Amino acid sequence: MRVNGFPENFIVTNPQFNMINWISDNGSNNYHAFNAQVTMRPARGVTWQSTYTWSKNLGISAIIGQNGNSLGATFTNPVDRRPDYTLMPDSRSHDFRTNGTFALPIGPGQLLLRNSSGALARIAEGWQMSWIVNLNTGQPLSIAAQNMLYANGVPDIVGPFDRKSGKAQFTGGPSGTYFSRDEIKLVADPQCGAITQNLRALCSLSAVADAKTGQILLQNPLPGTRGTLGQRAIEAPGRWRFDASLGKSIKITESKSLQIRMDAQNVLNHPEPQLCALTACATSTGGSLVNLDINNPNFGLFTGPQAKTLGHREFQGQLRLNF
């Protein structure tokens, strides 16, 4: 429509219809990345490969829409869509992955049990360990505020708010904090003070203030304006994971062998807190985990029962007869 000189509001809804969907190509996406890989060929029973990726994925995520399709996409302001161009949900600044194998020096001619023979040698030799280590920075998240335009409301930043101050902390059980109550607190939004006294109690808007000085850091934008903090302005804590396995194959006869294997996931039992957006968590896990809505009393808190369950250590054993 812009190319042909039509105004943004040229298309209007027909009162005969309850809903219409306008499908158009009005989004964009740019992915930038640097990738490096180092590979060690088999040497003395050791193989190793490491990959590092720096990347940034920018776009207008409203083109994804709701439920993963192109229908129901929302913009902060449908007639001014360009400011919605920001980091995409799958953007990760740094991603490091490494894997390898190591043949244990046990058995005939090896460092341990070098003089063994017979059944003992068959049991001791051929053990191989493998590992996978994944480390990546966190996903970009949005702090939500009241929608003062069409959708995607984010707050105004009015004080020295540290975007990197979030830290997942648990004192026991699934409950915990992402923005510590020792650092921030919720107060009435300044807009509540601008209305008449008898209606002020009905104002449900909150602002985020410094817990020590009382200075307001984040507040709801004024009606008809876009929040200055921007979408996906904070970064969730990164994730790291160490998985390993140990196994061997014992040859019984020419055509038969016994395979033994033990797999361990998250060997160090490192917890990985869920840090998806409030509505996404409610959709995918059945309950909110971290709350990032400044107008909710639980802002910055882990409240869902599954907040800390992701990432527990798991073992799996396998015994297989090949014939």
Strand order in the sheet with 176-177: 169-170, 176-177, 301-302
pLDDT, mean of residues 21-48: 86
Mean pLDDT of the chain: 83
Model confidence at 51, pLDDT cuts 50, 70, 90, reads very high
Decide which of 252 and 188 is more confident: 188
Average pLDDT over residues 19-34: 80
**Surface-to-core class of residue 107, CB atoms within 10 Å of its CB (0-12 exposed, 13-18 middle, 19+ buried):** buried
Binning pLDDT at 50, 70 and 90, where does residue 240 land? confident
Which has more pLDDT, 35 or 125?
35
Reported as a single tens digit per residue, the pLDDT across 141-173 is: 899 999 999 889 999 999 999 988 888 887 766
8-13: average pLDDT:
79
pTM: 0.73
Comparing 14-18, 168-172, 222-226, the range with the smallest average pLDDT is: 168-172
| Greatest mean pLDDT range, 206-210, 253-257, 267-271 | 206-210
What pLDDT does 168 receive? 80
- Which residues does residue 31 pair with via DSSP β-bridges, in sequence order? 57
What one-character DSSP code corresponds to residue 18?
Answer: S
Contact predicate 176/274, CB 8 Å: no
Residues 6 or more apart whose CB falls under 8 angstroms from that of 127 comprise 103, 104, 106, 107, 246, 247, 248
Residue 72's pLDDT band (boundaries 50, 70, 90)? low
- Who has greater pLDDT, 249 or 304? 249
